[in-house]
Amino acid sequence: MGAARPGPAALEIAPGALWQREALDRAAQEALVADIRAILAEAPLFTPTMPRTAKPFSVRMSNCGPLGWVSDASGYRYQPFHPETRRPWPPLPRALEALWTRFAPGAPPPEACLINYYAPDARMSLHQDRDEADFTAPVLSVSLGDTALFRIGSDSRRGATRSVRLGSGDVVVLGGESRLAFHGIDRILPGTSTLLAEGGRFNLTLRRVTA
């Protein structure tokens, strides 16, 4: 926050992955956080577990939109209801639909928004997102709160990777070849944003799930 950053042009951080720094100003970030808090009041953060090992994720999650991503003993999947309350996910806020129109013009409407919350010590190991039936639509990521050290490689786990610091208000559009790229969050840089009173970071990913 605060410090000047280079201009409005998107940077291609991997083939097809466009990083738009400070796409959202402070007021837009605050409005989105208010939307997220209202969603979490209806669909609380839950702690997903790994299918094989039952090990808990350090990231806590919720969703909005018709479908939500969950992980538990039965595996990874999209489903239309919260795993604990069994209630339908809250609808997608209009502001997120507008971001999709702005950054993924022409793509079919998003069906899921995964909400990831990173406490200062949370991380996400290198993985691919391949639980969707449609890989032609991009994934759109919005970062809110503390800066994260994000790593992205290629569609091979052994390929070279590049790291970038995702700040609050940054948007990344993962399309084309990058849609199946390995990626993860190596760490959160605590105390780098004043957006969230509790600290840490929200990441929102808008996704098309069905073909």
Binding site residues, ligand MD3, CB under 6 A: 114, 116, 124, 129, 139, 141, 148, 150, 152, 172, 174, 178-179, 181, 183, 185, 203, 205
Q: Which stretch binds Fe ion (CB under 5 A): 123-131, 155-163, 164-172, 193-201?
A: 123-131
By beta-carbon proximity to Fe ion, the closer residue of 130 and 165 is 130
d(C-alpha 114, C-alpha 110), whole Å: 11
By beta-carbon proximity to ligand MD3, the closer residue of 35 and 129 is 129
- List the single partner that 78 binds among ligand MD3, Fe ion, none, CB under 5 to 8 Å by kind: none
- Nearest approach in angstroms of CB 171 to ligand MD3 is 10
- Nearest approach in angstroms of CB 47 to ligand MD3 is 15
- List the single partner that 172 binds among ligand MD3, Fe ion, none, CB under 5 to 8 Å by kind: ligand MD3
| CB 62, CB 44: distance < 8 Å | yes
Binding mask 127-156 for Fe ion (x = CB under 5 A): --x---------------------------
Binding mask 11-50 for Fe ion (x = CB under 5 A): ----------------------------------------
Q: Which stretch binds Fe ion (CB under 5 A): 26-34, 50-58, 75-83, 122-130?
A: 122-130
d(C-alpha 159, C-alpha 109), whole Å: 32
By beta-carbon proximity to Fe ion, the closer residue of 111 and 129 is 129
By beta-carbon proximity to Fe ion, the closer residue of 128 and 194 is 128
Two tokens, residue 76: 């990874």
Residue nearest to ligand MD3 (CB): 203
Between the two ends of the chain, the Cα-to-Cα distance in Å is 38
Tokens 């280079």 -> residue: 6
Residues in the chain: 211
By beta-carbon proximity to ligand MD3, the closer residue of 35 and 203 is 203
